[in-house]
Structure 1
Protein backbone atom coordinates (compact mmCIF):
# COMPACT_ATOMS: atom_id res chain seq x y z
CA UNK A 1 0.00 0.00 0.00
CA UNK A 2 1.69 3.20 -1.14
CA UNK A 3 -0.42 5.67 0.84
CA UNK A 4 -1.47 5.33 4.45
CA UNK A 5 -5.25 5.16 4.75
CA UNK A 6 -7.14 8.25 5.84
CA UNK A 7 -10.00 7.41 8.20
CA UNK A 8 -12.88 9.89 8.10
CA UNK A 9 -16.62 10.05 8.72
CA UNK A 10 -18.68 8.69 5.84
CA UNK A 11 -20.61 11.29 3.85
CA UNK A 12 -23.84 10.91 1.88
CA UNK A 13 -21.93 11.04 -1.40
CA UNK A 14 -19.87 8.00 -0.31
CA UNK A 15 -22.92 5.71 -0.51
CA UNK A 16 -22.16 4.10 -3.87
CA UNK A 17 -18.46 3.65 -3.05
CA UNK A 18 -19.39 2.05 0.30
CA UNK A 19 -21.80 -0.31 -1.46
CA UNK A 20 -19.07 -1.30 -3.92
CA UNK A 21 -16.52 -1.99 -1.17
CA UNK A 22 -18.97 -4.03 0.91
CA UNK A 23 -20.17 -6.13 -2.04
CA UNK A 24 -16.60 -6.81 -3.19
CA UNK A 25 -15.38 -7.63 0.33
CA UNK A 26 -18.12 -10.18 0.98
CA UNK A 27 -18.25 -11.75 -2.50
CA UNK A 28 -17.20 -15.38 -2.42
CA UNK A 29 -16.17 -15.35 1.23
CA UNK A 30 -18.25 -18.36 2.16
CA UNK A 31 -19.65 -16.54 5.19
CA UNK A 32 -22.26 -13.88 5.61
CA UNK A 33 -24.48 -12.98 2.71
CA UNK A 34 -24.68 -10.30 0.06
CA UNK A 35 -27.16 -8.26 2.12
CA UNK A 36 -24.57 -6.21 4.00
CA UNK A 37 -24.76 -3.25 1.61
CA UNK A 38 -28.56 -3.19 1.90
CA UNK A 39 -28.26 -3.51 5.69
CA UNK A 40 -26.10 -0.36 5.81
CA UNK A 41 -28.67 1.53 3.72
CA UNK A 42 -31.56 0.37 5.96
CA UNK A 43 -29.74 1.26 9.19
CA UNK A 44 -28.99 4.72 7.81
CA UNK A 45 -32.57 5.21 6.56
CA UNK A 46 -33.92 4.21 9.99
CA UNK A 47 -31.66 6.75 11.73
CA UNK A 48 -29.88 4.03 13.73
CA UNK A 49 -26.31 4.83 12.63
CA UNK A 50 -24.05 5.84 15.51
CA UNK A 51 -20.69 5.77 13.69
CA UNK A 52 -20.00 5.31 9.97
CA UNK A 53 -16.38 5.68 8.88
CA UNK A 54 -14.55 5.16 5.61
CA UNK A 55 -10.91 4.53 4.81
CA UNK A 56 -9.51 6.33 1.78
CA UNK A 57 -6.29 5.56 -0.05
CA UNK A 58 -5.33 7.99 -2.77
CA UNK A 59 -8.78 9.57 -2.59
CA UNK A 60 -10.55 6.23 -3.19
CA UNK A 61 -12.88 4.70 -0.57
CA UNK A 62 -11.34 1.29 0.18
CA UNK A 63 -12.94 0.42 3.51
CA UNK A 64 -15.98 1.05 5.68
CA UNK A 65 -17.19 0.31 9.20
CA UNK A 66 -20.63 0.88 10.70
CA UNK A 67 -21.74 0.88 14.33
CA UNK A 68 -25.49 1.03 14.89
CA UNK A 69 -27.73 1.72 17.84
CA UNK A 70 -28.80 -1.29 19.90
CA UNK A 71 -31.53 -1.79 22.49
CA UNK A 72 -29.70 -3.27 25.47
CA UNK A 73 -30.69 -3.92 29.04
CA UNK A 74 -28.04 -4.95 31.56
CA UNK A 75 -28.80 -5.94 35.13
CA UNK A 76 -32.32 -4.51 34.78
CA UNK A 77 -31.33 -1.08 33.43
CA UNK A 78 -30.93 0.35 29.91
CA UNK A 79 -27.34 0.51 28.69
CA UNK A 80 -26.09 2.69 25.83
CA UNK A 81 -24.91 0.19 23.23
CA UNK A 82 -23.66 -0.15 19.67
CA UNK A 83 -23.41 -3.08 17.28
CA UNK A 84 -20.45 -3.37 14.92
CA UNK A 85 -21.61 -4.54 11.50
CA UNK A 86 -20.42 -4.61 8.88
CA UNK A 87 -16.74 -3.87 8.46
CA UNK A 88 -15.41 -4.27 4.92
CA UNK A 89 -12.14 -3.66 3.10
CA UNK A 90 -11.62 -3.81 -0.65
CA UNK A 91 -10.10 -7.13 -1.75
CA UNK A 92 -6.41 -6.75 -2.48
CA UNK A 93 -6.02 -4.37 0.47
CA UNK A 94 -7.23 -6.78 3.14
CA UNK A 95 -4.69 -7.86 5.74
CA UNK A 96 -2.93 -4.49 5.72
CA UNK A 97 -4.48 -3.04 8.87
CA UNK A 98 -7.25 -0.98 7.26
CA UNK A 99 -10.09 -2.91 8.94
CA UNK A 100 -8.20 -2.73 12.23
CA UNK A 101 -7.80 1.06 11.90
CA UNK A 102 -11.49 1.49 11.03
CA UNK A 103 -12.67 -0.57 14.01
CA UNK A 104 -10.34 1.18 16.47
CA UNK A 105 -11.36 4.63 15.20
CA UNK A 106 -15.03 3.62 15.44
CA UNK A 107 -14.63 2.39 19.02
CA UNK A 108 -12.94 5.70 19.91
CA UNK A 109 -15.92 7.61 18.45
CA UNK A 110 -18.35 5.46 20.44
CA UNK A 111 -16.43 6.24 23.64
CA UNK A 112 -16.62 9.96 22.79
CA UNK A 113 -20.41 9.58 22.33
CA UNK A 114 -20.73 7.94 25.74
CA UNK A 115 -21.66 4.43 24.58
CA UNK A 116 -21.09 1.88 27.34
CA UNK A 117 -20.91 -1.42 25.47
CA UNK A 118 -20.42 -2.72 21.93
CA UNK A 119 -21.44 -6.06 20.44
CA UNK A 120 -20.25 -7.91 17.36
CA UNK A 121 -21.22 -11.14 15.66
CA UNK A 122 -17.98 -12.29 14.13
CA UNK A 123 -14.89 -14.46 14.09
CA UNK A 124 -13.73 -15.39 17.57
CA UNK A 125 -10.07 -15.31 16.50
CA UNK A 126 -10.27 -11.75 15.11
CA UNK A 127 -12.44 -9.56 17.34
CA UNK A 128 -10.90 -10.27 20.78
CA UNK A 129 -7.85 -8.21 19.71
CA UNK A 130 -10.08 -5.13 20.07
CA UNK A 131 -11.44 -6.20 23.46
CA UNK A 132 -14.52 -8.16 22.40
CA UNK A 133 -15.25 -11.16 24.60
CA UNK A 134 -17.43 -14.21 23.91
CA UNK A 135 -17.77 -14.59 27.70
CA UNK A 136 -19.30 -11.12 28.06
CA UNK A 137 -21.52 -11.68 25.01
CA UNK A 138 -22.80 -14.93 26.55
CA UNK A 139 -24.26 -12.96 29.48
CA UNK A 140 -26.83 -11.39 27.14
CA UNK A 141 -29.94 -12.98 25.66
CA UNK A 142 -29.99 -12.25 21.93
CA UNK A 143 -31.30 -13.78 18.71
CA UNK A 144 -27.60 -13.91 17.72
CA UNK A 145 -26.37 -15.65 20.88
CA UNK A 146 -23.66 -18.24 20.33
CA UNK A 147 -19.89 -18.55 20.15
CA UNK A 148 -19.57 -15.75 17.58
CA UNK A 149 -21.60 -13.23 19.64
CA UNK A 150 -19.16 -11.03 21.57
CA UNK A 151 -19.29 -7.86 23.60
CA UNK A 152 -16.89 -5.37 25.14
CA UNK A 153 -17.26 -2.66 27.73
CA UNK A 154 -16.03 0.55 26.10
CA UNK A 155 -14.69 1.74 29.44
CA UNK A 156 -12.16 -0.97 30.18
CA UNK A 157 -12.46 -0.20 33.92
CA UNK A 158 -16.25 -0.74 33.98
CA UNK A 159 -17.60 -3.84 35.68
CA UNK A 160 -19.17 -6.44 33.45
CA UNK A 161 -22.95 -6.70 33.79
CA UNK A 162 -24.16 -9.99 35.22
CA UNK A 163 -26.69 -10.41 32.45
CA UNK A 164 -29.26 -8.82 30.23
CA UNK A 165 -30.75 -8.61 26.77
CA UNK A 166 -29.17 -7.29 23.57
CA UNK A 167 -31.20 -6.48 20.46
CA UNK A 168 -29.68 -5.10 17.28
CA UNK A 169 -31.30 -2.25 15.34
CA UNK A 170 -34.62 -3.22 13.66
CA UNK A 171 -32.94 -3.42 10.20
CA UNK A 172 -31.16 -6.63 11.26
CA UNK A 173 -34.53 -8.32 11.78
CA UNK A 174 -35.57 -7.37 8.25
CA UNK A 175 -32.59 -9.16 6.65
CA UNK A 176 -33.42 -12.29 4.66
Structure 2
Protein backbone atom coordinates (compact mmCIF):
# COMPACT_ATOMS: atom_id res chain seq x y z
CA UNK A 1 0.00 0.00 0.00
CA UNK A 2 1.27 3.48 -0.82
CA UNK A 3 -0.09 6.90 -0.04
CA UNK A 4 -0.27 9.74 -2.54
CA UNK A 5 -1.04 13.39 -2.07
CA UNK A 6 -4.68 14.42 -1.73
CA UNK A 7 -5.43 11.41 0.49
CA UNK A 8 -5.16 8.76 -2.24
CA UNK A 9 -4.02 5.28 -1.26
CA UNK A 10 -2.87 2.71 -3.82
CA UNK A 11 -3.56 -0.86 -2.66
CA UNK A 12 -4.26 -4.33 -3.99
CA UNK A 13 -7.83 -4.79 -5.14
CA UNK A 14 -9.91 -7.28 -3.17
CA UNK A 15 -13.04 -9.27 -4.01
CA UNK A 16 -14.99 -6.74 -1.93
CA UNK A 17 -13.97 -4.04 -4.45
CA UNK A 18 -15.62 -5.85 -7.38
CA UNK A 19 -18.81 -3.79 -7.63
CA UNK A 20 -16.95 -0.49 -7.15
CA UNK A 21 -14.39 -1.44 -9.83
CA UNK A 22 -17.22 -2.42 -12.18
CA UNK A 23 -19.01 0.91 -11.64
CA UNK A 24 -15.76 2.84 -12.06
CA UNK A 25 -14.98 1.26 -15.45
CA UNK A 26 -18.53 1.79 -16.67
CA UNK A 27 -18.41 5.47 -15.66
CA UNK A 28 -14.89 6.09 -16.94
CA UNK A 29 -15.44 4.53 -20.36
CA UNK A 30 -18.94 5.98 -20.83
CA UNK A 31 -17.30 9.40 -21.00
CA UNK A 32 -14.86 8.52 -23.80
CA UNK A 33 -15.53 9.22 -27.45
CA UNK A 34 -16.14 5.49 -27.93
CA UNK A 35 -18.61 5.02 -25.06
CA UNK A 36 -18.72 1.91 -22.90
CA UNK A 37 -16.68 -0.85 -24.53
CA UNK A 38 -16.91 -3.72 -22.03
CA UNK A 39 -13.90 -3.05 -19.79
CA UNK A 40 -15.88 -3.87 -16.63
CA UNK A 41 -16.80 -7.25 -18.11
CA UNK A 42 -13.16 -7.78 -19.10
CA UNK A 43 -12.01 -7.28 -15.49
CA UNK A 44 -14.53 -9.83 -14.23
CA UNK A 45 -13.60 -12.33 -16.98
CA UNK A 46 -9.86 -12.02 -16.30
CA UNK A 47 -10.47 -12.56 -12.58
CA UNK A 48 -12.78 -15.52 -13.20
CA UNK A 49 -10.23 -17.14 -15.54
CA UNK A 50 -7.41 -16.71 -13.02
CA UNK A 51 -5.43 -14.53 -15.43
CA UNK A 52 -5.09 -11.46 -13.21
CA UNK A 53 -1.47 -10.89 -12.14
CA UNK A 54 -1.80 -7.44 -10.54
CA UNK A 55 -5.01 -5.54 -9.77
CA UNK A 56 -4.67 -2.24 -7.93
CA UNK A 57 -7.12 0.41 -6.80
CA UNK A 58 -6.62 4.04 -5.90
CA UNK A 59 -8.83 4.82 -2.96
CA UNK A 60 -9.77 8.24 -1.63
CA UNK A 61 -11.96 8.69 1.41
CA UNK A 62 -12.98 5.03 1.34
CA UNK A 63 -14.11 5.14 -2.31
CA UNK A 64 -12.46 3.50 -5.30
CA UNK A 65 -11.27 6.34 -7.54
CA UNK A 66 -9.06 4.40 -9.94
CA UNK A 67 -8.17 0.87 -11.04
CA UNK A 68 -5.40 -0.76 -13.08
CA UNK A 69 -5.16 -4.41 -14.03
CA UNK A 70 -2.25 -6.41 -15.47
CA UNK A 71 -3.09 -9.86 -16.80
CA UNK A 72 -1.14 -12.93 -17.85
CA UNK A 73 -0.03 -13.11 -21.50
CA UNK A 74 1.39 -15.94 -23.59
CA UNK A 75 4.63 -14.55 -25.03
CA UNK A 76 7.33 -16.38 -26.93
CA UNK A 77 10.60 -14.87 -28.11
CA UNK A 78 13.45 -16.71 -29.75
CA UNK A 79 11.82 -20.06 -29.02
CA UNK A 80 11.55 -19.34 -25.29
CA UNK A 81 8.56 -18.43 -23.16
CA UNK A 82 8.74 -15.04 -21.43
CA UNK A 83 6.85 -14.18 -18.27
CA UNK A 84 4.58 -11.42 -19.56
CA UNK A 85 1.73 -9.15 -18.54
CA UNK A 86 -0.73 -7.02 -20.45
CA UNK A 87 -1.86 -3.71 -19.01
CA UNK A 88 -5.60 -3.29 -19.46
CA UNK A 89 -7.84 -1.86 -18.45
CA UNK A 90 -7.00 1.31 -16.54
CA UNK A 91 -9.75 3.62 -15.33
CA UNK A 92 -9.94 6.76 -13.22
CA UNK A 93 -13.12 8.47 -12.05
CA UNK A 94 -13.90 11.16 -14.63
CA UNK A 95 -13.81 13.96 -12.03
CA UNK A 96 -10.24 12.96 -11.11
CA UNK A 97 -8.65 12.86 -14.57
CA UNK A 98 -5.27 14.60 -15.00
CA UNK A 99 -4.41 14.39 -11.30
CA UNK A 100 -1.82 11.62 -11.57
CA UNK A 101 -4.04 8.81 -10.29
CA UNK A 102 -3.69 6.65 -13.41
CA UNK A 103 0.04 7.25 -13.57
CA UNK A 104 0.47 6.24 -9.92
CA UNK A 105 -1.53 3.05 -10.48
CA UNK A 106 0.50 2.09 -13.55
CA UNK A 107 3.85 2.76 -11.86
CA UNK A 108 2.80 0.73 -8.80
CA UNK A 109 1.61 -2.08 -11.04
CA UNK A 110 4.87 -2.17 -12.99
CA UNK A 111 6.80 -2.31 -9.71
CA UNK A 112 4.65 -5.24 -8.55
CA UNK A 113 5.30 -7.07 -11.83
CA UNK A 114 9.04 -6.58 -11.39
CA UNK A 115 8.78 -8.05 -7.88
CA UNK A 116 7.00 -11.08 -9.39
CA UNK A 117 9.85 -11.56 -11.88
CA UNK A 118 7.80 -10.66 -14.92
CA UNK A 119 10.04 -10.01 -17.94
CA UNK A 120 7.90 -7.94 -20.33
CA UNK A 121 4.67 -5.94 -20.38
CA UNK A 122 2.47 -4.93 -23.30
CA UNK A 123 -0.19 -2.27 -23.65
CA UNK A 124 -2.58 -1.19 -26.36
CA UNK A 125 -2.96 2.53 -25.85
CA UNK A 126 -2.18 6.12 -26.69
CA UNK A 127 1.28 6.46 -28.21
CA UNK A 128 1.86 9.80 -26.45
CA UNK A 129 0.94 8.58 -22.96
CA UNK A 130 2.47 5.15 -22.37
CA UNK A 131 6.08 5.85 -23.43
CA UNK A 132 6.50 7.85 -20.19
CA UNK A 133 6.48 4.50 -18.38
CA UNK A 134 8.98 2.89 -20.77
CA UNK A 135 6.57 1.34 -23.29
CA UNK A 136 7.90 1.28 -26.85
CA UNK A 137 6.23 0.91 -30.24
CA UNK A 138 9.55 -0.36 -31.61
CA UNK A 139 9.79 -3.23 -29.13
CA UNK A 140 6.18 -4.32 -29.65
CA UNK A 141 6.64 -4.27 -33.44
CA UNK A 142 9.00 -7.24 -33.03
CA UNK A 143 6.07 -9.42 -31.90
CA UNK A 144 3.29 -10.91 -33.98
CA UNK A 145 -0.04 -10.26 -32.27
CA UNK A 146 -3.70 -9.79 -33.18
CA UNK A 147 -3.32 -6.34 -31.60
CA UNK A 148 -0.21 -5.30 -33.56
CA UNK A 149 -0.40 -1.80 -34.95
CA UNK A 150 0.25 1.84 -34.15
CA UNK A 151 -1.01 1.62 -30.55
CA UNK A 152 0.62 -1.66 -29.51
CA UNK A 153 3.60 -1.08 -27.18
CA UNK A 154 5.88 -3.17 -24.99
CA UNK A 155 8.56 -2.70 -22.36
CA UNK A 156 11.18 -4.90 -20.79
CA UNK A 157 10.62 -4.75 -17.04
CA UNK A 158 14.35 -5.14 -16.43
CA UNK A 159 15.74 -2.04 -18.15
CA UNK A 160 19.10 -3.81 -18.57
CA UNK A 161 17.61 -6.82 -20.39
CA UNK A 162 18.27 -7.19 -24.09
CA UNK A 163 15.29 -6.73 -26.37
CA UNK A 164 14.11 -9.95 -28.00
CA UNK A 165 14.59 -10.05 -31.76
CA UNK A 166 11.06 -11.23 -32.37
CA UNK A 167 8.30 -13.52 -31.26
CA UNK A 168 4.60 -13.77 -30.58
CA UNK A 169 2.46 -12.01 -27.97
CA UNK A 170 -1.06 -13.14 -27.11
CA UNK A 171 -3.31 -11.64 -24.48
CA UNK A 172 -5.36 -13.81 -22.12
CA UNK A 173 -8.42 -15.53 -23.69
CA UNK A 174 -10.81 -12.95 -22.17
CA UNK A 175 -9.44 -10.44 -24.70
CA UNK A 176 -10.75 -12.57 -27.57
CA UNK A 177 -13.81 -10.37 -27.95
CA UNK A 178 -11.53 -7.39 -28.63
CA UNK A 179 -9.26 -8.95 -31.28
**1-side partners of 2:178 and 2:94: how far apart?**
24
**SS of aligned partner of 1:157:** coil
Please give the per-residue CA displacement for 1:100-132, whole angstroms capped at 9, x wherever unaligned. 000000000000000000000000000000000
| 1:15 match | 18
Cα distance between partner residues in 2 of 1:49 and 1:133: 23
Shift of 1:31: 3.7
Task: Work out whether residues 26 and 36 of structure 2, in 8 Å CA contact, stay in contact via their aligned partners in 1.
Answer: no
Moved over 2 A (4+): 1-4, 31-34
Match of 2:163 among 135, 140, 160: 160
Cα drift, residue 28 of structure 1: 3.1
Matched, 1:102 2:142: no
CA deviations 1:25-64 (Å, max 9, x no partner) are 1113124742000000000000000000000011110000
Does 2:69 correspond to 1:66? yes
Aligned pairs for 1:141-152 within 5 A = 141-152=144-155
User: Do 2:66 and 2:101's aligned partners in 1 also have CA atoms closer than 8 Å?
Assistant: yes
Q: TM-score, normalised by structure 1?
A: 0.96
Cα distance in 1 for partners of 2:34, 2:172 equals: 21
The CA distance in 1 between the partners of 2:24 and 2:79, in whole Å, is 39
Q: 1:104 to 1:59 in 2, by over 3 A?
A: same
- Note the 1:110-149 alignment, pairs <5 A: 110-149=113-152
Scaled by the length of structure 2, what TM-score is found?
0.95
**Matched length:** 176
Conserved in 1, the CA contact under 8 Å of 2:31 and 2:94?
no
Q: CA deviation at 1:4?
A: 2.9
Instruction: From the superposition, tell whether residues 32 and 142 of structure 1 become closer, same or farther in structure 2 (CA, over 3 Å).
Output: farther
